[in-house]
Amino acid sequence: MGSKKKIPFNGTADQEAALRRVVAELKNEKGALMPILQKAQDIYGYLPYEVQKIISDEMNIPIEKIYGVVTFYSQFSLYPKGKYKISVCLGTACYVKGSGSVFDKLVEKLGIEGGECTADGKFSLEACRCVGACGLAPVMTINDDVYGRLTPDQIDGILSKYN
Amino acid sequence: MADINLKINGMECKAPAGSTILQAAKLNNIDIPTLCYMKEINEIGACRICVVEVKGARSLVAACVYPINEGMEVLTNSPRVLNARKKTLQLILSDHNKSCLSCVRSGQCELQTLCKQYGVDNEHMYDGIVNESEIDGTAAHMIRDNSKCILCRRCVAACAKTQGIGVIGANERGFKTNIGSAFEVGLAETSCVCCGQCIAVCPTGALYEKDFVDQVVADLNDPEKYVVVQTAPAVRAGLGEEFGYPIGTNVEGKMAAALRRIGFNKVFDTNFSADLTIMEEGTEFIERVQNGGKLPLITSCSPGWIKFCEHYYPDMIDNLSSCKSPQQMFGAVTKTYFAEKMGIDPKKIVCVSVMPCTAKKFEVGRADQSAAGVPDVDYSLTTRELARLIKRYGIDFNNLPDEGFDDPLGEGSGAAVIFGATGGVMEAALRTVVFKLTGEKDGSPIEFKEVRGVEGIKEATYDVAGIKVNIAVASGLANARKVLDMVKSGEKNYHFIEIMACPGGCVNGGGQPRVPANIRNFNDIREMRAKALYSIDEANTIRFSHENESVKKLYAEYLEKPGSHKAHEILHTSYVKRTINK
């Protein structure tokens, strides 16, 4: 079975203590799982196995139930954001100008899907909807840098700037 | 409750208030097809196959969840309804692996049946993008092939609600939705207990047992091998369904005849080792009561329950009886006592079991289950696999004569055969324990009816020779959980507990013939199959395990006495502590 790619977990004792406080505070309320997951994501930035396991053990509910919720809602992430966060606009203007193939090129180049992070923690990739630079379509951002009028063959050169 | 008047397909009908359209229609002999609906555990109105037209309603409604009301007019067969059902089926097929010819479920698939029924003449009508999925064959007992999954969630409900486990669920959303475990790990890495209740409720071929029929056929054809078969009590109450007999038909005689014709060297019966289990477990209970041992003693026949206890109640494994299950005791005796008696090298003996169970496939691979230095049991087949083997061998099952089992490991008492129903092990144990504790007198009680029946939890207190014995019987692991929690909290003080992983006991095990939802939802298959076992018990001249002559002989010739050092070496085992999340 292809289990999800594993990125080393670097949670701190402070984060864990904060999570346990949140769970203890909310777990007896009806529908507690969603707010607990939201707070957990605030604390860690994402919801890896280690975090879901703590929630499962503390709330005494199956981890699959948690994982089902996490993978259902797009605002929850199983992966941390990379050192360099790549967002490719798949909004209408960028899409018709070919951002789909830019995105595909990044998927191929980085070996990850949208929403995921490379195993070395360097790049994370996500699709977004309109960064307000439609005149430059297709557009992507890497942290605060904006790249416009992109073609897939520019990707190698752009990525090589980030080390 | 007061009856409600409604019209279904133009006919005046009555049904109790609170009924759904599906229930009201059934009461009036009208079948509405269902796919996702599973009574009490999965009433989610998701699959849209049960849609019907209700006069005045804006759209078609799901009959499985829509309540009836006075004066309602329902059409279950209008062209609009039939068309909607056909379209829904075609849409399901658009993302379905349609390799029906090689599918284990072909001929018994609920989806296939509905496609025939609703005249689906073009299964490629909506062909398009198909979800990619991997086959999960990691677990010892089963395969998940999501390319055949229709997302009905019946397996999810069986796991979470019936069994209180929840290691599978719906992941992702929309078109990508798939059933699996957290972080897409294989089932073997989860705290799955191998009960197979998910397989029992799956409408298609997405879930099925790991099939060992080919391996058994190979060994049957190997002149170097001596192949012995044993059949669990519940198998004889289920196997007939695969050959068109009504649910609850006892086919013990034909089953023995079929196994002989397949060519097993010996056709034995797990009933023998069920009696042996009672001798050992009964002795263990009496010893624990008299010597201040760990109580309550909890039965250990059900390997799904054992694995559940190890994962979820690891602090209670000392409460488990150290007795191997009847399947394993049988294998152990075959490869020690029987092998010595016959002068056969135990390495050449292949012990095949036929079980109503999928967890038995896990059990054969457990540690500390090899009395003769080789695994006690080599292959554990389900009732369904035996049916496949019989069909593959071209045996005209229905016209076979009734035959008996071979000696010496084919003898079983009435107490043994009721092992297959919830409460049966407890009743069998009580028969012998009461007899022993009350001075081994004639006329010792036989029937303990308080422990019979399909309720999930049963309790009774018996006064046995001045000792008050509190017992509990639980079947279905969600019920087991309730009983164990009451024990842990001190709310209940039981001395002896029987737990079976599957609701109703082995008759409703994960390895029994699959019963389609349209029958399962309206009949209690647990009760129907259990009845067959209680009739066999009643007809048996020997109804106490301690009166089984072959068991007595085994002790006299080999094991000395129940609970002896040798008996412990061969017939007892140990357990391991496991965790829920790794």
* Residues B5-12, mean pLDDT to the nearest whole number: 97
Establish, for the pair of chains A and B, how many residue pairs have beta carbons separated by less than 8 Å. Answer: 61
Cα angle B218, B224, B230 (rounded to 5 degrees) comes to 65
Nearest to B383 by CA among B526, B511, B244: B511
Residue B524 pLDDT more than 70? yes
Q: Using 50, 70 and 90 to split pLDDT, how confident is the model at B438?
A: very high
Look-up: residue for tokens 């046995």?
Answer: B464
**CA–CA separation, B545 vs B275, rounded Å?**
5
Task: State whether A71 and B168 contact (CB < 8 Å).
Answer: no
Give the pTM: 0.94
Domain B95-209 has CATH 3.40.50.300: no
Question: How many angstroms from the chain centroid is the CA of residue A90?
Answer: 16
Nearest to B546 by CA among B344, B173, B286: B286
**CA–CA separation, B479 vs B166, rounded Å?**
14
Which candidate in B172, B183, B189, B579 is best for mutational testing of the A interface (most A CBs within 10 A)? B183
Q: Tell which CATH architecture fits domain B3-77.
A: Roll (3.10)
Task: State whether A57 and B166 contact (CB < 8 Å).
Answer: no
Distance to chain A for B182, nearest Cα, Å: 4
Residue B225 pLDDT more than 60? yes
Find the closest chain A residue to B180 by CA distance: A64
Domain B214-571 has CATH 3.40.50.1780: yes
Q: Using 50, 70 and 90 to split pLDDT, how confident is the model at B140?
A: very high
Residue A2 pLDDT more than 50? no
B16-58: pLDDT as tens digits: 999 999 999 999 999 999 999 999 999 999 999 999 999 999 9
Find the closest chain A residue to B185 by CA distance: A3
B502-520: pLDDT as tens digits: 999 999 999 999 999 999 9
Distance to chain B for A98, nearest Cα, Å: 22
SS3 A128: strand
SS3 B287: helix
Q: Is-contact A78 A72, C-beta < 8 A?
A: no
Output Rg (C-alpha) for chain B, integer angstroms.
Answer: 25
* Residues A114-135, mean pLDDT to the nearest whole number: 91
Look-up: residue for tokens 């070919």?
Answer: A98
The mean pLDDT value of chain B amounts to 97
Residue A156 pLDDT more than 70? yes
B87-132: pLDDT as tens digits: 999 999 999 999 999 999 999 999 999 999 999 999 999 999 999 9
A6-36: pLDDT as tens digits: 778 989 999 999 999 999 999 999 999 999 9
Which candidate in A37, A46, A53, A63 is best for mutational testing of the B interface (most B CBs within 10 A)? A63
Domain positions in chain B: 3-77, 95-209, 214-571
